[in-house]
Amino acid sequence: MPTTVWTERRRLRSLRDRGPRRERVQMRLVVDLNRCQGFAQCVFLAPDVFSLHGGEALLFSPRFDEAQQDRVEKAAAACPVQAILVDYSDEPTKGVKPHVG
Amino acid sequence: MSADTDVEVLRRQGRIVVVGASLAGLRAAETLRDQGFTGSLTMIGDEPYEPYDRPPLSKQALLGRARPEDTALPRRRDIDAEWRLGVAAAGLDRDAKLVRLANGDTVPYDRLLIATGTRARPWFHPEEAALDGVFVLRTRDDSARLHRKLAGAVSRVLVIGAGFTGSEVASACRELGLDVTVAERGPAPLVGALGGVIGAVADRLQRKKGVDLRCGISVTALEGDEVGRLRRAHLSDGSAIDVDVAVVSLGAMRNTEWLAGSGVAAGPRGIACDAGCRVFDVNGIVTDDIYAAGDVARSPHPLFDYQFLALEHWGNAVEQAEIAAHNMICAGPDRRPHLWLPMFWSSQFGVNIKSVGVPSLGDQLVVAQGALAEERFVAVYGYRGRVIAAASFDGAKWLGFYEQQIAAGAPFPPEYRTVDRRTETLHPIDPAFPDPHLPTHGATVTLTGHSPSERRVAFVPAHA
Ligand SMILES: Cc1cc2nc3c(=O)[nH]c(=O)nc-3n(C[C@H](O)[C@H](O)[C@H](O)COP(=O)(O)OP(=O)(O)OC[C@H]3O[C@@H](n4cnc5c(N)ncnc54)[C@H](O)[C@@H]3O)c2cc1C
Ligand code: SF4
C-alpha cells in the first residue's frame, strides 16, 4: 500500500507550504462512486468533508484544507473499498488560469 | 517510428500528445508516466482549466456544498507534461503526424490520444438559446453560472429533458426550495437509460418531491422579454408556463468535428476504436499510433454482442484511459483489451442510483431485491436468457454480486435463492425501453452497431 509514502510526501508538502506568504494549503479529493458502497466510514471520520445524502448517496467536498488533512487521511485509509483518492502531486500545471471566484 | 519494433525508443524519447485535458486525458498521462514513459508529453485542452471532475457540477456544486472551481481532480502522481490549455485542436494531419491547433501552432506526435469527450447538446433554436436564463450544464463555468442564477430570485425553473443530468438539476432545485417543472418527451424520467418500469419509479419519486413533471411533452419554444430575458416556455400540448430559468438537458454531442477530413472513423456517434483503444480509419483499418478513450470513444465489447459501445461514464473514462495509455507504449502481445463492465451512478432526490452492465440491451427484467414501491430495490435485466445488467435504487451493496453475474453470463432469470423478494412478482417483465430508433436523451450507454467506420448520422431532434 502506498499510504505511508503518500503520507510522508503530504506532510512534507504541508510543512513547506506553511510559509507566511502562502495562502492556506488546499488539497484535492475525489471518490470513485462506482466503488463506494455507502458504508459511511468516511462520514464518521471526516464529517466536514464527507456526508451522506439520503440513505446511501455520498457527497464529498472536492477540496479540503490542512485542518482536515489528518481526518481525510484516516478516512481514505479506512474506506473498505479504497474508493477515496487524495491528491498525490503538487506539481504546478503550467499555463492554467489562476482561480477565479 | 514503426509500431512494435521501436517500442523501447518510444518509451524513452517518444512524443505523446493527448488532446482533451479532462478525466480521461489526465488518467492516461499518469498511467504513461507510471509505466515508465520518459519522452515528451503534451496535454492540449480547450478549456482554460486544469482537469476537473464533472459529476459534482450537477450535485454538490448546485447545492452550494462545493464551488465549481474547487473540483480540480486530484493527481495520482507528477506527470511532467507540457500543458497547452485554452486552445483547441483544430485538425489532425496523419501523414505529417501532427495536430494543428486553433492558434495556428502544430504539435507533432509519435502517439496520439484523443480524449475530447462530449459537450452539452444546445437548445435547437440559437436565438432562444441565447436568452438570459437559458443554461446547459457540462463545464465548470456552466455550473458556476447556473448556481449563481439559482441563488438569486428565481420564480420557476424549467428543466428540459429528464435524463440523469436533468433529473439531478431538478433534484437540486427542489432541495434549494425552488419551483421546478420538468418536461420530458419520453413516457418517464430516465426511460432511455433504465426503461419504463424503473422510469415509473423515478416518476413517482420526482412528483413526491414536488416536481411538476410533465412527460410525453416537448418544449416547442422559449420566449424572452424585450431585454432578452427568458420569460415563458411553450409546450407541445399548447400550454405555456412562466419561467425565468431553463436548463437544457438534452444529452451530449461528441467532440469529433475537429477530426473531419483526417480519415479516422470519427462521427456523431463517437470515434470507433478496437478493444485495445486503437482508432479505426474510415476504411475500417486500425491505426497503430492513434488511440481514443473516454466519452468520445466507442469500442466493441464481447459481452454485448461485440457491438460498439459508447459510454458516457466516469468510470469508463478512467479505465479506458489506463488501457489506452498502457497499449500506446507496449508491443503487440503485451497489449490489453478494454473489457470494462459499464458502471454508472447518479444521486437524485435523496436516492443513490447505480447501474452495472447495459440495461438498455435488456429484453426482460425482474426485481430481485427490495420493492419498486419502496424506491429501494435492485432490478436485474436479462438478454436472451442471461443476466446483462442490474440497476439499484439505494441498493449499491448488491451490485458487486450482479457485476460477477454479468461477467459470468449467468442465466436469467436469476436463481431463486439469490433473490430476496417480498411484494413483487418474480415473473420477468418487459423493462419497457422506448423504441431504440426513437431518440432519447436519457441514455448514457449507446449501442452504436457493429461497423467501425459507420458514420451514420445521429438523430438530432428538431424539438425537445
Ligand atoms: C454535470 C455532469 C454530471 C455527471 N455525473 C456523472 C455521474 O454521476 N456518474 C458518472 O458515471 N458520470 C457522470 N458524468 C459523466 C462524466 O463526467 C464523463 O463521463 C467524464 O467527464 C468523461 O471524461 P472524458 O475525459 O472522456 O471527457 P470530458 O470530461 O468531456 O473531457 C473532454 C475535454 O476535451 C476538451 N476538448 C474537446 N474538444 C477539444 C479540442 N478540439 N481540442 C482540445 N480540447 C478539446 C473538452 O473541452 C473537455 O475539457 C457527468 C457529467 C456531467 C457533465
Ligand atoms: S468509506 Fe468508502 S465506501 Fe464508505 S461511504 Fe466512504 S467512500 Fe464510500
Strands B98-101, B82-85: pairing is unpaired
Of B69, B318, B349, the CB nearest to A100: B69
Looking at residue B425, its pLDDT comes to 54
Distance B425 CA to ligand 1 centre (A): 39
Taking CA–CA distances from A60, the nearest residue in chain B reads B60
According to CATH, where is 3.30.390.30 located in chain B? 343-437
| Distance (Å, whole) CA B315 – CA B337 | 16
Smallest CA–CA separation between A27 and chain B, in Å? 8
Q: Residue B43 is placed in which grid cell? A: 496535454
Q: Answer whether B85 touches A (CB < 8 Å).
A: yes
pLDDT at site A6:
38
- Residues A34, A39, A41, A47, CA torsion sign: positive
Which of A28, A36, A101 lies at the smallest CB-CB distance from B72?
A28
d(CA A30, CA B454): 36
Distance from the CA of A56 to the center of ligand 2, in angstroms?
10
pLDDT at residue B156, rounded to an integer: 97
Instruction: Indicate where chain B has its CATH 3.50.50.60 domain(s).
Output: 5-119+253-334, 122-250
Pair B338, B320: CB distance under 8 Å: yes
Q: What is the model's pLDDT at position B439?
A: 54
Q: What whole-number distance in Å separates Cα of residue B165 and Cα of residue B318? A: 20
Q: Which three cell numbers stand for residue B447?
A: 449501442
d(CA B449, CA A29) in angstroms, rounded, equals: 37
Q: Do the Cβ atoms of B288 and B109 come closer than 8 Å?
A: no
Match domain B5-119+253-334 to its CATH number in 3.30.70.1070, 3.40.1160.10, 3.40.50.1950, 3.50.50.60: 3.50.50.60
Domains of chain A: 37-88 (3.30.70.20)
Which strand ranges, in their side-by-side order, compose the sheet holding B82-85? Answer: B82-85, B40-45, B15-19, B111-114, B286-292, B278-280
CA of B40 to the centre of ligand 2 (A): 37
Size of interface A-B (CB pairs under 8 A): 113
Lowest mean pLDDT among A23-27, A82-86, B124-128: A23-27
Residue B447 CB neighbour total at 10 angstroms = 18
A92-98 long-range Cβ contacts below 8 angstroms, 24+ apart: A93/B50, A93/B83, A93/B85, A94/B82, A94/B83, A95/B83, A95/B84, A95/B85, A95/B86, A96/B48, A96/B49, A96/B50, A96/B83, A96/B85, A97/B48, A97/B49, A97/B85, A97/B86
Ligand that comes closest to the CA of residue A78: 2
Place of cell 420557476: B156
Using a pLDDT cut of 90, give the percent of chain A over it: 51
Do B173 and B181 contact (CB within 8 A), yes or no? no
CATH architecture of the domain formed by B343-437:
2-Layer Sandwich (3.30)
Is B414:B368 a contact under the CB 8 Å cutoff? Answer: yes
What is the model's pLDDT at position B332?
84
Q: What is the dihedral of CA B105, B106, B111, B112, to 10 degrees?
A: 50
Rounded average pLDDT per 10-residue block, chain B, 464 residues: 72 97 98 97 97 97 94 94 97 98 97 98 97 98 97 94 97 97 96 95 98 97 97 97 97 96 92 96 94 96 87 96 97 91 96 95 93 94 95 94 93 73 67 70 65 52 45
For the domain covering B122-250, report its CATH number. Answer: 3.50.50.60
Contact B149, B238 (CB under 8 A): no
What average pLDDT does chain A have?
76
Cis-peptide into B439, omega within 30 deg? no
- Chain A, 37 to 66: residues with Cβ < 8 Å from chain B are 37-38, 53-63
Interface list for B 244-273 with A (CB within 8 A): none
